[in-house]
Structures are given as C-alpha cells and as structure tokens.
Amino acid sequence: MHYGNSMHCSWKTLAANKARSFLSMLGVIIGVMVVIIIISVGAGAQSLILNQIKSLGSNLVGVLPGQSEEKGPPVAALGVVITTLKYEDGKAIAQSGNPHIIGVASYVRGIDTVVVGDKKTDTNFLGTTASYINVEDANVETGRFFTEEEERAMGRVAALGSQVAQDLFGNDDPLGKQIKIKRTPFTIIGVMKARGVSGFQNQDNQIFVPLPAAQKLLLGINHVSFMRVKVDSGEYVDSAMDFVKQILRAEHGITNAADDDFTVRSATDGLAALTQITNALRFFLAAVASIALVVGGFGIMNIMLAAVTERTREIGLRKAVGARHSDITRQFLVETVTITLSGGIIGALFGILLSVIAATVAQNLGYKWDLVVTFSSVLFAGAVSVAIGLIFGIVPARRASRLNPIEALRYE
C-alpha cells in the first residue's frame, strides 16, 4: 500500500469517526495553540520592556545607588532601599564642565492622597530637578515648569501631568490653584503635555515638585532614588559613564573601583541585560507549554490503541488479502500523523488569532506591544505535531501489525 492510498484511507477512517477524531486531536490543538500564544505573548512582552527602555533614549546614562556586578541588575533595582546617592551628587556632575553632558536630573518618588477642595485622589508625585524638562525631553502644555531658584528654595510649587489635571480639575484651568500633598500646600504653576508611558511609568499620572521639597516636606529623606545623565551624542556615552564614575568616587571619597557604592549604566547595557533575561523566560515558558503537547500525545496513543481493538476484524481482513506488516504499520502511523498534523494546523491558526487579539488589546491600552508571530514558531509547532504522531503512533501501529490474521478474523 503506497503512502497516497494510506492517506486516502486515513481520511476516510477519520471522516467516518468525526467525534473520536476531534477528541483525538483536541490535545494537540490545545498544546500547539498554547505554545504559539506563549511564544507570541513572550515576544510581545519582551518588545514592551525593550521599547520602554528605548523610549528613554540611547543618549541617557542611568545612575542608581548601590554596587552591582558588571552584568547583573543593580541592587536598587531589586527593591532594596539604598541611600548612597545624594542631591549634591547630581549637582556635582552637572557643574563638572564636561562638554558632552548637557543635563542631569535627580529623582525621588512617592504615592499619597492629593486634596483639592473637597476632592481627594491617590496619585504619584515625582520630586525632581528643574533640569527634568531638558533631560526627559518633556514639554509644558500650559503655564511653566519650576525654576532652579524655586528648586533650591524648596518652593512649594507643582506641575501636573495631563491625566492628573483632568482628574482633579476636569475642564477648569488649574493654574494658580492649590493642592495639598500630605497636608502640605503646593501652588500649581503648569500642566505637562501628554507623554504616555515611558520608562515603565505613566508620565501623565504624576505631580512634579522640586526635589528638595519632596525630600524634606513629603518623604523625610536626604537621598535620591536615581539620576539620569543626558549626553549630547550616543558616541560619547561610554566616556561620559567613566566621567560620572570619577565624579561620584571623588564625591564619596572612594579610591578603589571595587568599593563603588553606585551603579552607572547606559540604555544599551539595560537592553542587553533585559534581552538576556526575557529570552530565558520565553524559552522556559515555551518548554512548560510543550508539556501540553506531550499530554496530547498520550491521549492520541490511548485512542489509537482503542481503535486497534475496534478494528481487529478489519486488520485481519487486510492481512488475509495480502497486506504486509509494514502496510498495517504505515496505515496506522499515517492516521496518527494525520490527526496530529491537522490538530497542529488548527491549533496554530487559533494561536495566531488569539495572539493578534492579545496584541490589539495591549496596543489599545496604550502599550508599545509588538505582534510577533514568527514563521519559525509555526513551523516548530507543525514539526512537533508530526513528531508526536510518529512517536506516540508507533505503539498502536506495531500492535496492529502483529495481530494474527486468523485470530483477528474470528474476533467479535
């Protein structure tokens, strides 16, 4: 019996038992669908993370408190509070006279209830320096941002993110009005232009206040959470990083680089580290999802073994008219592969459809989520489906081929 005839007989057999055929391939459909979705969603999540880093700009250098290994995450990035960076450190870098450093901004964050008249809402506040506008390429929609003089004087002034302004004042003009953060009054002097999500933070849902005021009046601290240094060109980022390290070592009295109590990283470093981490997570998730395919393979093997028993007389008749062991084996293998390959194709189509839906929903929510469904992932799912058919189909196929034709014809 040639493979063409085997395929034709397989389709006739599967069509005659539609319910059983569907249940046989259901495990493969689910398994392939889950693999496609996880690979696609993993790639989309990776693109979201990397796009957030890229949105900060390739000419930014980040400074975090605490030392870290060369390729490991900074300790501060793991949620540990470290107080080694100070407001004066940023000023020292900004005033160092390096021609390629065109801005330095320091930051602290907090969350609290903001009161406007009888209206209250919980929101984020960002204590930063007047240079924030330059470093972050931010723009003011109405009013202005606070000045260096207001920053140094611990001025009680604030600029609102566009979403906060809408939430607190609706269509009313907020300029000149007061808000209270932790019972401390701040006068609104500006509303920022909408920026969306950048650097994992919704820039429109923040209140911007001078850093010293945030430190002393709102948080009761004397350190900064992190700093960003803007370089005039990406080609000078490495030299700027070395320069920043020298300034901070001088400010902190450090003579040995091994004793650094800070971490200086470029956006490129962050991209490389995050890409390595997310690739490992994607591989792990795809491996876990592949377990569903193995489970589906066992289900197919059980159903095909039952089919051998059900078709004992048919097998005996085939052997009686001259079918060889290899013909019977091939017939059952082709049937199993047909089931798994059909399930793989259907599962891939559903996986692609759900991946498109997930990406569309994420994009509509404002996330920079890329739809990634690669041909290689679909090909991999198809190849795995065929492999499962061959591996889990060999046992029932061999069992069928070894049936004694005389006993098979007597089977009731």
| Range scoring the smallest mean pLDDT among 46-50, 115-119, 161-165, 215-219 | 46-50
Contact 218, 182 (CB under 8 A): yes
pLDDT at 296 over 90: no
DSSP 147-200: PHHHHHTT--EEEE-HHHHHHHHTTS--TT-EEEETTEEEEEEEEEPP--EETT
Residues 6+ apart with CB under 8 A from 323: 1
pLDDT value, residue 324: 67
- CA dihedral sign, ordered 149, 155, 160, 166: negative
Residue 52: strand, helix, or coil:
helix
Find where tokens 């495990």 sit: 27
Bridge partners (DSSP) listed for residue 319: none
The whole-number average pLDDT for the span 364-369 is 71
Amino acid 112: pLDDT: 85
CA–CA distance, 80 with 92 (Å, rounded to integer) = 25
Q: What is the pLDDT of residue 369?
A: 72
List the end-to-end C-alpha distance of the chain, in Å, as a whole number. 26
Position 223 confidence tier, pLDDT thresholds 50, 70, 90: very high
Parallel, antiparallel, or unpaired: how do β-strands 184-192 and 157-160 relate?
parallel
Q: Which of 87-91, 168-172, 252-256, 286-290 has the lowest mean pLDDT?
A: 286-290
**Cβ–Cβ under 8 Å, residues 227 and 105:** yes
Minimum mean pLDDT among 33-47, 257-271, 371-385: which range? 371-385
Regarding predicted confidence, which is higher, 19 or 387? 387
Considering only residues 213 and 392, tell me which one the structure prediction assigns the higher pLDDT.
213
pLDDT 10s digits, 44-97: 777 666 666 555 556 788 898 887 765 555 555 555 678 889 999 999 999 988
Question: Quick one: pLDDT band at residue 405, thresholds 50, 70, 90?
Answer: low
Per-residue CA distances from 235 to 238, 239, 248, 266, 320 (Å): 7, 9, 22, 12, 80
pLDDT of residue 411: 47
Closest CA to 275 of 42, 116, 109: 42
In this prediction, residues 36-49 reach a mean pLDDT of: 74
> CA torsion, points 385, 386, 388, 389, in degrees to nearest 10?
120
Rounded CA-CA distance 319/200 in Å is 68
The mean pLDDT value for 175-202 works out to 84
Q: In the prediction, which pLDDT does 114 show?
A: 87
Token digits of residue 390: 């061959």
- pLDDT over 90 (residue 105): yes
Q: Which one, of 388, 402, 379, 400, lies nearest residue 336 by Cα?
A: 388
- Residue 172 has phi, psi (to 5 degrees) of -75, 155
**pLDDT range class, residue 123, cuts 50, 70, 90:** confident
Is the pLDDT reported for residue 283 higher than 60?
A: yes
Q: What are the phi and psi torsion angles at 130 (to 5°)?
A: -60, -25
Q: Residue 142's pLDDT is what?
A: 93
Q: What tokens appear for 190 in the block? A: 């500006």
Q: Is 90 exceeded by the pLDDT of residue 224? A: yes
At 312-336, the pLDDT tens digits run: 566 566 666 666 666 666 676 777 7
Percent of the chain with pLDDT over 70: 68
pLDDT reported for residue 382: 72
State the average pLDDT over residues 175-203. 83
Q: Where are the alpha helices (DSSP H) in 206-365?
A: 211-213, 237-252, 267-310, 312-320, 325-364
Look at residue 145 in the predicted model and tell me its pLDDT.
96
pLDDT, tens digit, 9 for 90 and up, residues 13-32: 666 566 666 777 777 788 78
Buried b (16+ CB within 10 A) or exposed e, 115-129: bbeeeeeebbbbbbb
Higher pLDDT, 284 or 127: 127
Q: Phi, psi (5° rounding) for residue 192?
A: -80, 150
Q: How many Å apart are CA 370 and CA 48, to the nearest integer? A: 7
pLDDT reading at 364 higher than 90: no
Q: Give the 3-state DSSP-derived string for 67-122, with helices as H, strands as E and coil as C.
A: CCCCCCCCHHHHCCCCCCCCHHHHHHHHCCCCCCEEEEEEEEEEEEEEEECCEEEE
Helices 18-55 and 375-401: crossing angle, nearest 10°? 150
| Structural contact between residues 222 and 86, judged by C-beta atoms closer than 8 angstroms | yes
Residue 158 has pLDDT above 90, yes or no: yes
Residue 408 confidence class, pLDDT cut points 50, 70, 90: very low
